[in-house]
Amino acid sequence: MTSVTPKRHLEFYFEDGKVVFELRPVPNNSNNEPDSETAPVLYRLHPGLLVRRSELCRDLLSLPRPENAPSQIQSEGCVDSNPIIIANACTKFEMDTLLTYWYSGETDYPQTEVFLIALLKMSRLFICGDGLAFAKKELEHRALAWDPDTDEPKDPEAAAEPARGLHPALQLHLAQLYFINEWLDPAFRRLLSLSLNRLSAHQFQSLGPNGMYWLTQTKTKIAEVRATIAFTSPALIQSDDCSGTWARCRLAWEQEWAGSVRQMIHHPNQIFPLTHILTELGKVSIDNLCYHCHRDTMASLETDPLFNSEEDFVKVAIEALHGNQTDTHIRKAVCQIKTGAGLEDTQTT
Ligand SMILES: [Zn+2]
């Protein structure tokens, strides 16, 4: 193999820095990342800052160096010719993102999705609690701004980059990749509200086998239940206190179901949960249906398993997704940086 002499980083090689790292980047794994440099690069940084911001750096920099250790080990990280090597862990863009977060003020952070996603990953790898919290908070903000009707934020003025919120497919992907359990529920529910044909092949595949399985299963089960309910109107309960005539109440109920309820269930763009449709149906007054029959029927439907099955399917799916969450790959990557295990891959190429 021919070794490439690493170049000093233009921004993060500080003359008054005290510890030298050599990053051997992984190739760019995202089409969105603005930087595709793969050559090794030297960073000269301030150990006090690193130790304060990152548990991984604290571990890396506090390793005891016995007095009788070889000089190679004694001087590791002190000079360009003997840096601490970080190999195969991240791209240069991702490393620069973490350092931008550590060395700059919040107003200097790029207001981009790729910056936040890179920060999310690097905060996991370098065990930086405040970086993780910041990236999560900002991305959650963007997830809420995503609008299923237009696939754009509700307020495009508020976004500094191309007007899009965080797509739920990407949020679910990140939740699985970076072990963010609290994102599974909102991302999965938002995905369910989308027609599958609005997902690109890339978005669909990014959900992983578990995500794809539970999304398609849950959508299919829900569609079957909704078709059943839309087709057959549930029987009206005849109240003991019926204040109209029973035949008139029943006709009014069936007409309401065949008309507006069926329309709500089949609405092509606005997919209301069945429980929501029931709640709305309980609030309106239906012509020619007496209050008492209406009230008793709604009370009975609220506990009807068929009407609650939609939410049950969603809960089962989310529980299964939780069960498949693992942070083993993250812990392994952290361990590889600590031990320099990633070096084996670069040195054999
Ligand atoms: Zn009645």
Please give the backbone phi and psi of residue 24, each rounded to the nearest 5 degrees, phi first.
Answer: -105, 95
Q: What proportion of the chain, given as a percentage, has pLDDT over 70?
A: 90
With 80 as the cut, is the pLDDT of residue 157 above it? no
User: For residue 286, how far is its CA from the centre of ligand 1 (angstroms)?
Assistant: 11
With 90 as the cut, is the pLDDT of residue 267 above it? no
The burial class, CB within 10 Å (0-12 / 13-18 / 19+), for 209 is: exposed
User: For residue 257, how far is its CA from the centre of ligand 1 (angstroms)?
Assistant: 16
Residue 348's pLDDT band, with cuts at 50, 70 and 90, is very low
pLDDT in tens, 166-179: 999 999 999 999 99
Residues 67, 341: Cα–Cα separation, whole Å: 24
Mean pLDDT, residues 6-26 taken together: 95
- Per the listing, tokens 């993102």 go with 97
User: For residue 18, how far is its CA from the centre of ligand 1 (angstroms)?
Assistant: 83
With 80 as the cut, is the pLDDT of residue 220 above it? yes
Structure-model confidence comparison of residues 174 and 243, the more confident one: 174
User: For residue 63, how far is its CA from the centre of ligand 1 (angstroms)?
Assistant: 80
pLDDT in tens, 300-317: 999 999 989 999 999 999
User: For residue 258, how far is its CA from the centre of ligand 1 (angstroms)?
Assistant: 18
Beta strands in the chain (DSSP E): 7-13, 19-24, 41-45, 84-87, 146-147, 152-153
Lowest-pLDDT range, 74-78, 94-98, 277-281, 325-329? 74-78
Mean pLDDT, residues 263-292 taken together: 89
Mean pLDDT, residues 16-41 taken together: 82
pLDDT in tens, 66-102: 777 777 777 888 899 999 999 989 999 999 999 999 9
16 C-beta neighbours (distance < 10 Å), count? 6
Residues 14, 20: Cα–Cα separation, whole Å: 10
Q: What is the mean pLDDT of the chain?
A: 88
With 80 as the cut, is the pLDDT of residue 197 above it? yes
